[in-house]
Amino acid sequence: MDTLSENRCFGGRQGVYRHASDACKCDMTFGLFLPAEAEDGPVPLLWYLSGLTCTHENAMVKAGAQQWAAEHGIALVFPDTSPRGADVADHEMYNLGQGAGFYVNATQAPWSANFRMWDYIAEELPRVLFNGFALDEERQAITGHSMGGHGALTIAMAYPGRFASVSAFAPITHPSQSDWAKKPIHAYLGEGNVDWTRHDACLSLRANGFAGPMLIDQGTGDQFIDSLMPEALAAAITETRHPAIFRMQGGYDHSYFFVSTFMEDHVAFHAEALYR
């Protein structure tokens, strides 16, 4: 693992690291914030999965999460959203290819050679993190924005007991019924081959549930709101009577101004679950 940068940050350390990924067959980069408490022993870990077109850097720089994580003694990991490199397949569409991994394991060419983001996030990167840093594997939580909210919700529900809590900012909630989200997932997995119970948060909540609390924030001024389908997730939460906080935030759009506005709430929400 190569250290690309390390900076003092709110009493802790914000690092950026690169490693060779077996899952994605290329070098992958991630950001990791470690609070001051990590100098004395393992600390809880909050995963932040980013959305379309983002790298590890967007949330790391724009979300303002480190300040709140430092207050609670929580580490933050900011993975990349896809494999990258000259030999990695790409597409002119912004929601397919590099920057748009959708947190699935692609089975269709040309994507299947590298796009195994589910395995990378759920299996490989955890091994890298817990073997290399002072992190407590028994205390994890997960959040994400947009495509990353989709990933956070579906991965949390697929691994019972791993995450104490899950939250999302403007997540893609019901891709099996959203043409905008369905198209890239069909490109990766093949039309008719998608296990939507695994890759659709609404269906997964009904089928698998989630043992911990959930927090969802959605802006009413979000330009993608019709494709995100927040009402579908609200309905699934109601039908399953899952303990959740679902907030429609008046006038907020899809940007990091929205994410940073409510980041303090999300970190505090996860801290309560992690230290319960």
Catalytic residue among 80, 200, 217, 222: 222
Alpha-carbon gap, residue 175 to 191, rounded angstroms: 13
Active site residue 2: no
Concerning whether 174 is annotated as a catalytic residue, the answer is: no
**Structure tokens, 41:** 């022993």
Active-site residue (options: 82, 146, 165, 178): 146
Give the span between the Cα atoms of 169 and 200, in whole angstroms. 16
Q: What are phi and psi of 3, to 5 degrees?
A: -90, 115
- Residue 78's Cβ-count burial label (10 Å; 0-12, 13-18, 19+) is buried
Contact yes or no for 67/43 (Cβ under 8 A): no
β-pairing, 214-219 with 244-249?
A: parallel
Rounded to an integer, what distance in angstroms lies between the CA atom of residue 188 and that of residue 73? Answer: 38
**Alpha helix (H) residue ranges in 190-275:** 196-199, 201-208, 225-228, 230-240, 256-274
Q: How many helices (H) and strands (E) does the chain have?
A: 11, 9
d(CA 16, CA 108): 31
Q: Tell me how far apart the alpha carbons of residues 28 and 262 are, in angstroms, rounded to a whole number.
A: 28
Which residue among the candidates 72, 254, 266, 270 is catalytic per the annotation?
Answer: 254
- 21 an active-site residue? no
User: H-helix or E-strand containing 157?
Assistant: helix 147-158
- Give me the phi and psi of 130, to 5 degrees please: -75, -20
Catalytic residue numbers read: 146, 222, 254
